[in-house]
Amino acid sequence: MPRFFLEEAPGELAVLDGEDGRHIARSLRMRIGESLTLCDCRGTDYDGVIETIEGERVSVRIVSSRPCAAEPTLQAVLYQALPKLDKFDVVVQKSVELGVARIVPVLSMRCVSRPDAKSLAKKLERWNRIAAEAAKQSGRGILPEVSPALSFEQAVREAEATGGVSLLFYEGGGAPIRTRIGQETLSASLFIGPEGGFDKSEVALARAHGVTPATLGPRILRTETAPIAALAAIMMASGNL
């Protein structure tokens, strides 16, 4: 069923115009009486029926609401060191599909990619578009945000202040995920390094701020593979997969 996000919870009648209205009327060629799903970006889905279509303005009658079944009980924040080329695009898309709540680009010591502020702003806009498209495709109940980039130190301090379980996936080994994540876990911060991995000084800094080194097994994964593996593993461990 087609799915659209709203800026706030609808009343008895919701109106979609602009890009969404145009998509419904012109691309999908939907008709009066057809059903669709609206989401308030806070985890609630609304079942609706199209009542009127006037050009690119579509009115939808709300018939029922329910919690979004696709939202995990665990809120995961991914701190991903910036990789080369367009790998971050894939990380964003697949992480949203797997249930991430927020993604933070991180500039760590061994990052080869170091775009300037103007370039980062353009990339951030694109990444959030990719996140929105992935959220719609996968039936999410929220629109996961790609936040502005942080330095590694800023990232570990933010995770410490947020609380919950914080894991740094490190080729030097660490705790198995199953020993740190369970069905009672409500929030987790995940740190993934760049192509060259984390520097030992960064691992020490992370430890000092309550971030635990963790392992994804004996194989060394690519920077774009590791977040997918980590998110799948924590969703399985927490009963969300």
Average pLDDT of the residues in 14-26:
94
How would residue 237 be classed by pLDDT, with cut points 50, 70 and 90? very high
For the stretch 118-130, pLDDT in tens is: 999 999 999 999 9
Q: Which amino acid is at 169?
A: F
Q: What is the pTM of this model?
A: 0.91
Does position 17 have pLDDT exceeding 90, yes or no?
yes
Average pLDDT of the residues in 220-241:
97
How would residue 166 be classed by pLDDT, with cut points 50, 70 and 90? very high
Does position 7 have pLDDT exceeding 90, yes or no?
no
How would residue 171 be classed by pLDDT, with cut points 50, 70 and 90? confident
* Res 172: pLDDT: 85
162 closest CA partner among 222, 102, 94, 219: 102
Average pLDDT of the residues in 192-213:
96
* Res 133: pLDDT: 94
Helices 87-98 & 226-237, crossing angle to 10 degrees? 10
Q: What's the whole-number average pLDDT of the chain?
A: 95
Integer-rounded Cα radius of gyration of the chain: 20
Q: Cβ-count burial of 60 within 10 angstroms (0-12 exposed, 13-18 middle, 19+ buried)?
A: buried
Query: Buried (b) or exposed (e) across 158-185, using 16+ Cβ within 10 A?
Result: bbeeeeebbbbbbbeebeebeebbeeeb
Does position 106 have pLDDT exceeding 90, yes or no?
yes
Tokens 């009127």, residue located: 52
Does position 1 have pLDDT exceeding 90, yes or no?
no
Question: What's the maximum distance between 2 C-alpha atoms anywhere in the chain?
Answer: 61
* Res 173: pLDDT: 84
Average pLDDT of the residues in 215-223:
94
Residues 6 or more apart whose CB falls under 8 angstroms from that of 127 comprise: 88, 89, 92, 103, 105, 146
Q: Which two tokens stand for residue 239?
A: 């009963």
Q: Which two tokens stand for residue 83?
A: 């990789």
The secondary structure element, H or E, covering residue 51 is strand 44-54
For the stretch 37-96, pLDDT in tens is: 999 999 999 999 999 999 999 999 999 999 999 999 999 999 999 999 999 999 999 999
The secondary structure element, H or E, covering residue 61 is strand 57-67
Average pLDDT of the residues in 224-231:
98
Average pLDDT of the residues in 93-103:
98
CA angle 136, 139, 140 (to 5 degrees): 85
